[in-house]
Structure 1
Amino acid sequence: MTVTAWTAAQVARKVIDNKEFFILDVRNADAFEEWKIDGHNFDYVNIPYFELLDGVEEILPQIPTDKDVLVVCAKEGSSIMVADMLSEAGREVGYLAGGMKSWSMYLEPIKVGDLANGGELYQFVRLGKGCLSYMAISEGEAAIIDAVRFTEVFTKFAEDKDVQIKHVFDTHLHADHISGGRHIAEVTGATYYLPPKDAEEVVFDYAPLEDGLTVNIGSSAIEVGALYSPGHTIGSTSFVIDGKYLLTGDILFIDSIGRPDLAGLAEDWVGDLRETLYARYRTLAEDLIVLPAHFMIMDELNADGTVAKRLGDLFAENHGLNVEDEEAFRSMVTDNLPPQPNAYQEIRHVNMGKITPDNDEQTEMEIGPNRCAVR
């Protein structure tokens, strides 16, 4: 039997297209429990590779023969070894090229919808980390919002679309992943925007992203309007694009709300979080389509792979938007905080420009699941 190398892009299509898949994850149990490849119709078995050094015969009954089988490890070496052993035992299997490292890095661009006068809005879905980035395009110009660190994905996409990146925004100072916004601005000549209240410690120049700021994209004047919405951070700022889409950053998700503690100020910021969700957002049109900067679970993906939902539906369905008693809300938020993201303090310092780790160090910082939401 031949062993197939599956790319992260191919696995992503399995997720988005709701296909069946069987994954044999040969990482240690703690790594598997913390973070794995999630799919709507994926089945799993976790057997650390060191338990398979003497052979795979004992696990063959656990490996199906009626669906695609993928062997996964951290960086691919162990999965190739196990996949070869299964192949020698007569099984048709594949391995994930680049391992979980490649899964963490992969971005799938998906069109969200059309904007005025032929414009387009794209969502870049980072399935392995739960990050969501955006590119608005109009008449040869583009704006990028909440770009992750794989900057060539965005610059290549813009090149393929024959548009010039003019504006790059971060809705807030990110703590769970390294932003690519400043670097994209440097290589393209675009203007980089960051909320001043989140930028007090940054060591680089930026354009202030403040409440009421409007930046036009293209001569068709698609407006990227800023809305101050603190709570996840004190500077968090949302966007309304073309009067149709609400980009909420890490304040509001499809199935949850943002955590207020990643700068150590949960008790201080929980009031801001409630004010944003229960007052500021309530003044907005309920037909706005919410586009967050993260998702937590696969159930938040739509059939086309996008993460998007009408604001009015979230007011009705999202539990975090339906806690009437303020003290109960405070308790729900501060008592249900998940573990901090991996290396979040170091990531904040990278995004401030204070430290410049190499690529391998950045990869290590970002390994693990997204943890920006209140449980």
Structure 2
Amino acid sequence: MTTSSLTAMTAQQLTKKILDREELMILDVRNTSDYENWRIEGGRVEVVHIPYFDLLDSIEPALELIPPGKELLVVCAKEGSSIYVAEQLIEAGRTGVSYLQGGMKAWSEYLEPVKVGDLKDGGELIQFVRIGKGCLSYMVISGGEAAVIDAVRMTDVFERYAKERGVVIKHTIDTHLHADHISGGRKLAINALAAYWLPPKDATEVTFDYVPLEEGSSITVGSTEIAIQPIYSPGHTIGSTSLIVDGKYLLSGDILFVESIGRPDLAGKAEDWVGDLRTSLYTTYRALPEELIVLPAHFGKMTELGENGVVSARLGDLYRSNPGLNVQDDELFRAAVTKHLPPQPNAYQEIRQTNMGRLTPGEEEQQNMELGPNRCAVHDK
């Protein structure tokens, strides 16, 4: 058997193809439940699903479904099964075949940095798109310093980017206690000797020290003093706190997304927090300038990615287009965000405990805990 024509495609290369809207066919060979729960989407990607065990005796089922001449990427959980299937396809005469290096685990962990826009006096705001998981992190850069907001656990990405830009990370901030992914904020702060900010109402059970992220305080980044202004906006969690950066950008955490709104049930208190959610969205946010650019901590659908992959929307536009902001009846709103919700994120209780410092899972366990879509929004992915 020869593998001379078999190549690996990295998660970074796959991301570029999706964002550039290049044609690509994917053969996903994971089991049916994993595929139906979470798969690669977006751009001009076409996906065919055939479980690996259905291809062990013969590669013919794949050959029948996949037209010759198309660029083909074979995908599995970790890469082993996809290498085997890709080799079989090449043996059968197919060309342009590659496999996803590191499989869906690598896809889940890749972050693509994209520039959101310029800030005053030469500063910049960068969004890190975790395209396979739907998480969004941010870096505010100004005057040789940086603040990282809602960092994911792959802290080396932020450290490397800061080094490339010649800036020092001075602050890390979590807008709330996350339940869908393991936060990298505290680890990043320790490594960088930076301040770690967390809303105190979400921190009643944490086992570590932090700086309270409270409305009325102001965090500055760099000598140009680009202010990060916290705004208390509970509902997704009791402590959820949004940030206004430079008077131009609203980092909404998991309260407001481009196509949906945050769910209030991940701490088991949906009935208690639904009123807070409505107040945050229909009163607190409604009083803010419509020109603010909303930058959420997650996206639920690939359609939310805009130009160059940036996930953003003007606040005033969302009050016209986002269904979650247009339910005028209180009881209808309560029903919409407490009943018929999508499944909760994988291992979300363990993830919450980890983010409190009460669990210390190893690296492989952390990877497994985070597999699957984020599901922080009212809509399903």
Q: TM-score range by the shorter chain?
A: over 0.9
SS of match in other structure, 1:54: coil
Equivalent residue number for residue 175 of structure 1: 179
Contact persistence 1:291–1:308 (CA under 8 A):
yes
Does 2:222 match 1:222? no
Contact persistence 2:42–2:303 (CA under 8 A):
no
TM-score calculated relative to the size of structure 1: 0.99
Does 2:267 match 1:255? no
Contact persistence 1:130–1:369 (CA under 8 A):
yes
- Counterpart Cα distance in 1 of 2:73 and 2:6: 10
Equivalent residue number for residue 189 of structure 1: 193
Question: Aligned to 1:55, which of 54, 58, 65?
Answer: 58
Contact persistence 2:20–2:43 (CA under 8 A):
no
- Counterpart Cα distance in 2 of 1:205 and 1:337: 34
What is the CA deviation profile of residues 175-201 of structure 1, one whole-angstrom value per residue up to 9, with x for unaligned ones? 000000000000101000000000000
Question: Aligned to 1:235, which of 235, 239, 244?
Answer: 239
SS of match in other structure, 1:304: helix
Distance change (3 Å), C-alpha of 1:196 and 1:58: closer
Unpaired runs of 5+ residues, structure 2, are none
What is the number of equivalent residue pairs in this alignment? 375
SS of match in other structure, 2:228: strand
SS of match in other structure, 1:294: coil
- Counterpart Cα distance in 1 of 2:83 and 2:233: 47
- The 5 A counterparts of 1:1-375 are 2-92=5-95, 93-375=97-379
- Counterpart Cα distance in 2 of 1:65 and 1:18: 20
Contact persistence 1:142–1:167 (CA under 8 A):
yes
Identical aligned residues as a percent: 64
Unpaired runs of 5+ residues, structure 1, are none
Contact persistence 1:17–1:303 (CA under 8 A):
no
1:58: Cα distance to partner? 3.5
Contact persistence 1:26–1:48 (CA under 8 A):
yes
Moved more, 51-60 or 170-179: 51-60
- Counterpart Cα distance in 2 of 1:35 and 1:364: 13
1:68: Cα distance to partner? 1.4
Contact persistence 2:254–2:297 (CA under 8 A):
yes
Contact persistence 1:333–1:374 (CA under 8 A):
yes
1:24: Cα distance to partner? 0.3
- Counterpart Cα distance in 2 of 1:229 and 1:11: 36
What is the CA deviation profile of residues 67-95 of structure 1, one whole-angstrom value per residue up to 9, with x for unaligned ones? 31100000000000000000011112100
Q: Cα RMSD between the aligned structures?
A: 0.8
1:21: Cα distance to partner? 1.0
Contact persistence 1:129–1:368 (CA under 8 A):
yes
Moved more, 40-49 or 98-107: 40-49
Structure 1 moving runs of 4+ over 2 Å: 64-67
